[in-house]
Structure 1
Amino acid sequence: MTLYEELQARGLIAQVTDEEEIKELINNGRATFYIGFDPTADSLHVGHFMALCLMKRLQMAGNRPIALIGGGTGYIGDPSGRSDMRNMMTPETIQHNCDCFKKQMEKFIEFGPDKAMMLNNADWLLQLNYVELLREVGACFSVNNMLRAECYKQRMEKGLSFLEFNYMIMQSYDFYHMFQTVGCNMQFGGDDQWSNMLFGTDLIRKKLGKDAYAMTITLLMNSEGKKMGKTASGAVWLDPEKTSPYDFYQYWRNVGDQDVLKCLRMLTFLPLEQIDEMDRWEGSQLNTAKEILAFELTKMIHGEEEAQKAQDAAKALFAQGGDLANVPATTLTGGDLTEGAIGILDLMVKCGLTPSKAEARRLVQQGGVEAGGVKVADIARSFTAEELSGDGVMIKKGKKVFHKAVLQG
């Protein structure tokens, strides 16, 4: 099976500009390709995970990845798939986020001479003179075609700012610049980036008379058609300080029965033959498939030791007398208590189980919260310093989310 055939079998390929040329390039390790990551936060998240997996697969086959950090495009903000404009970030925030991305990617992609490259488009975009840019590439962009692009459709409903309108030009210029300077001949990205990518290949053709190629990968959606990687409290981050290895493991352990095989194919490096065997699994066997998925992905991001701890902790919660040492815990101090106690609503927010007291109130009122093995029926329930001392209080949210609150001794 060729690399391209494997990508197809894993359900990763959405759209391509020239299938035969792309097959030839990636199957023979001749693609120097880039994927862009705009620094909109100080951590990569599950939405970036599939792109990182693709980069790794292609690198393992001898192709050269370029991880392009959007230190320049981050000043504008990608309007793709958004109904409102992104918040403007300060240069300091953008640089901090770029530094965080770099550290995370270095754990995943092999960088170095003749290996993967990491570039920052701030290095060329922030040096551009606006009038010179217009004269160089402005005539290559049809405004009529730009306004028809899929990536602008949602923004057009509420009003597309001129700031965002320039994003497509900047992304196209990135491809054009790297084609000339580092021999980048392909761009990969999410399916929502298709319009931007086509304009990049078109710019290279018009300016240089040469061909470049683009391929989009399938967006990671669940069986209900919603993007995966979101929870009630927000994104599932790759930074262990923002999403603990246990919570990361639990997210994948709890995917729907209809989604587990798809996730195994798209995100793990397990042989397709092994995954195809699981296609026949039913009932409780699907839980085993979910454990395999969760372990493999947690190992890729956080290492085998953390993956094992997360798996042991998850199993302990459903076993009498299991070792709960690795269950996520929040350490409280005396300053978190009021008159020697803390209410259940404040405690759930403090532990990161809900984003707000209003959400915590709703969960309690619906009977979805237990503490110390007892259902919490009263939103006024509070916990004393004595209850929180020692082993602390184990809180259960819904059927599968556990968290321990412990008062610092």
Structure 2
Amino acid sequence: MLKSNLLKNLQSRGFINDCTDLAGLDDLLEQTKITCYIGYDATASSLHVGHLMNIMMLRWFQKEGHRVITLLGGGTTKIGDPSFRKTERPLINNDTINTNLASLKSIFSKYIKFSSNFPDALMLNNDEWLSKLNYLDFLRDTGKHFSINRMLSFDSVKSRLQKNDPLSFLEFNYMILQGYDFYKLNKDHECILQMGGSDQWGNILNGIELTRRKNGKKLFGLTSPLLTNSAGQKMGKSLNGAIWLNEENLSPYEFWQFWRNSEDNDIEKFLLLFTEFSVEKIKELTARKGHHLNEAKIILANEVTNLCHGKIKTTEAFKTSQAVFNENIGSNNLPTIEISKEECPPNISIIQLLTMSGMVKSGKEARRLITDKAVKLEGKLINNISGTYEINDFVDPQKLSIGKKKHFNIIIT
């Protein structure tokens, strides 16, 4: 049975998947404050909701007085993490990496308090030390501690090899570099715990073993489960695209709507993972059904959006959703989809409008939705499957709705 309040809280909320020594870590957290970290490569201009579980873990550690490190993978991004990928990750140029890093920094600052006061947090970039390594010295001093036999035994590697998918020497180097990161953070900052998703288990073990071999110190690894919904589908990316954490990639309104439209069976899980309400309050919120559960969904959407985008954007998103629900057309906060005039015929059909906007995947789906009376333009139901519009009608934004949950402004420029 766990003793530390922190691990008991994380376990009761569903954050813990595996740990290299849960009892040992529990004892340590009962006795002292520690330094822990999670690493994030800059493979995109934003993180998505699939990353949010680990960010919340860092947040809980900081709230309990521990020192947290967010490690930006400016160096490892140049190599690419092969974990559970079917193909080698495309290489990213330095300019794109730097742009992505700047965006990630702004996201972390919303969740973690970076200040000179303890418990403080550090935001580091592994390019600061990885780019300075001498390759021959690194192979001699660090590479000798890694067993290829052991690396081949990791599930992330075996799954590639069993399918005869190629695994390059470059990707094997990634595992060594990430392991070196943990060793480096322990050496320079006394970091003893690395956390990450379950797909990072092998990489975490590499760092623990490397540190043990180089200086005999014991480190810990803690992983969170893969984030899935009640249907068992992997989250982070929806059927219509990723649920991004920055508003350049996904508007606060769309972010809010994602949580508001969660399935009933997911509400308790999401409240436990992505809000800071007590477990008891969450159980109370989700115990009732019907319209009371809808109230819980709104609370979920407000809380998660407030953490990610702030109070003002959350209030705007909520008011926009209310206006849309009540058929009040004139809301300027709906996400806007722009269609190029050059791509449009002089008279555009409603089928073309739906498909070109990306709101539906095919003309067949568009026809079905119209037949099912699920499409509205400016609040008016579309009944004519062959209806057309002049493109000049869309010089100003026009609200296009599919069902009760998907609402966008369409503009042709």
Q: Return the TM-score normalized by structure 2.
A: 0.90
1:388 to 365, 376, 394: 394
Q: Check conservation: 1:36, 1:69, Cα contact below 8 A.
A: yes
* 1:156-182 C-alpha deviation (Å, 9 max, x unpaired): 221211111221111100001111011
Partner of 1:366: 368
1:131 to 132, 136, 150: 136
1:202 and 1:328, CA in 2 relative to 1: closer, same or farther beyond 3 A?
same
How far has the Cα of 1:316 moved from its partner?
Answer: 2.2
What is the CA–CA distance in structure 2 between the aligned matches of 1:60 and 1:350, rounded to whole Å? Answer: 46
- Partner letter of residue 353 of structure 1? M
Counterpart mapping for 1:35-184 below 5 A? 35-113=38-116, 114=118, 115-156=120-161, 157=163, 158-184=165-191
What is the CA–CA distance in structure 2 between the aligned matches of 1:27 and 1:322, rounded to whole Å? Answer: 56
Q: Check conservation: 1:249, 1:307, Cα contact below 8 A.
A: yes
2:34 to 19, 31, 34: 31
Q: Check conservation: 1:172, 1:196, Cα contact below 8 A.
A: yes
What is the CA–CA distance in structure 1 between the aligned matches of 2:178 and 2:236, rounded to whole Å? Answer: 25
* 1:129-165 C-alpha deviation (Å, 9 max, x unpaired): 2221111122221111111102223322212111112
Q: Check conservation: 2:351, 2:367, Cα contact below 8 A.
A: no
What is the CA–CA distance in structure 2 between the aligned matches of 1:331 and 1:34, rounded to whole Å? Answer: 40
How far has the Cα of 1:310 moved from its partner?
Answer: 1.1
* 1:72-120 C-alpha deviation (Å, 9 max, x unpaired): 1101111112112111111111121112111221222111334110111
Partner of 1:9: 12
Counterpart mapping for 1:290-369 below 5 A? 290-321=297-328, 324-330=331-337, 338-339=345-346, 341-344=347-350, 347-348=353-354, 351=357, 353=359, 359-367=361-369
1:86 and 1:290, CA in 2 relative to 1: closer, same or farther beyond 3 A?
same
How far has the Cα of 1:348 moved from its partner?
Answer: 4.1
How far has the Cα of 1:60 moved from its partner?
Answer: 0.9
What is the CA–CA distance in structure 2 between the aligned matches of 1:135 and 1:351, rounded to whole Å? Answer: 55
1:120 and 1:188, CA in 2 relative to 1: closer, same or farther beyond 3 A?
same
Tell which deviates more after alignment, 290-299 or 313-322: 313-322
Tell which deviates more after alignment, 190-199 or 322-331: 322-331
What is the CA–CA distance in structure 2 between the aligned matches of 1:155 and 1:382, rounded to whole Å? Answer: 50
Listed as ranges, the gaps of 5+ residues in structure 1 are none
Provide the aligned length of Structure 1 versus Structure 2. 401
Partner of 1:257: 264
Q: Check conservation: 1:29, 1:62, Cα contact below 8 A.
A: no
What is the CA–CA distance in structure 1 between the aligned matches of 2:111 and 2:31, rounded to whole Å? Answer: 23
How far has the Cα of 1:29 moved from its partner?
Answer: 5.7
SS in 2 for 1:214: strand
How far has the Cα of 1:305 moved from its partner?
Answer: 1.4
What is the CA–CA distance in structure 2 between the aligned matches of 1:109 and 1:344, rounded to whole Å? Answer: 46
What is the CA–CA distance in structure 2 between the aligned matches of 1:62 and 1:346, rounded to whole Å? Answer: 55
Listed as ranges, the gaps of 5+ residues in structure 2 are none
1:206 and 1:232, CA in 2 relative to 1: closer, same or farther beyond 3 A?
same
SS in 1 for 2:325: coil
What is the CA–CA distance in structure 1 between the aligned matches of 2:30 and 2:250, rounded to whole Å? Answer: 36
- Partner letter of residue 390 of structure 2? T
Partner of 2:296: 289
Q: Check conservation: 2:285, 2:296, Cα contact below 8 A.
A: yes
What is the CA–CA distance in structure 2 between the aligned matches of 1:236 and 1:44, rounded to whole Å? Answer: 9
What is the CA–CA distance in structure 1 between the aligned matches of 2:36 and 2:290, rounded to whole Å? Answer: 41
What is the CA–CA distance in structure 2 between the aligned matches of 1:193 and 1:230, rounded to whole Å? Answer: 19
- Partner letter of residue 218 of structure 1? P
* 1:20-78 C-alpha deviation (Å, 9 max, x unpaired): 33223445561211100000011121122111111111111111111100111101111
How far has the Cα of 1:222 moved from its partner?
Answer: 0.8
Q: Return the TM-score normalized by structure 1.
A: 0.91
SS in 2 for 1:243: coil
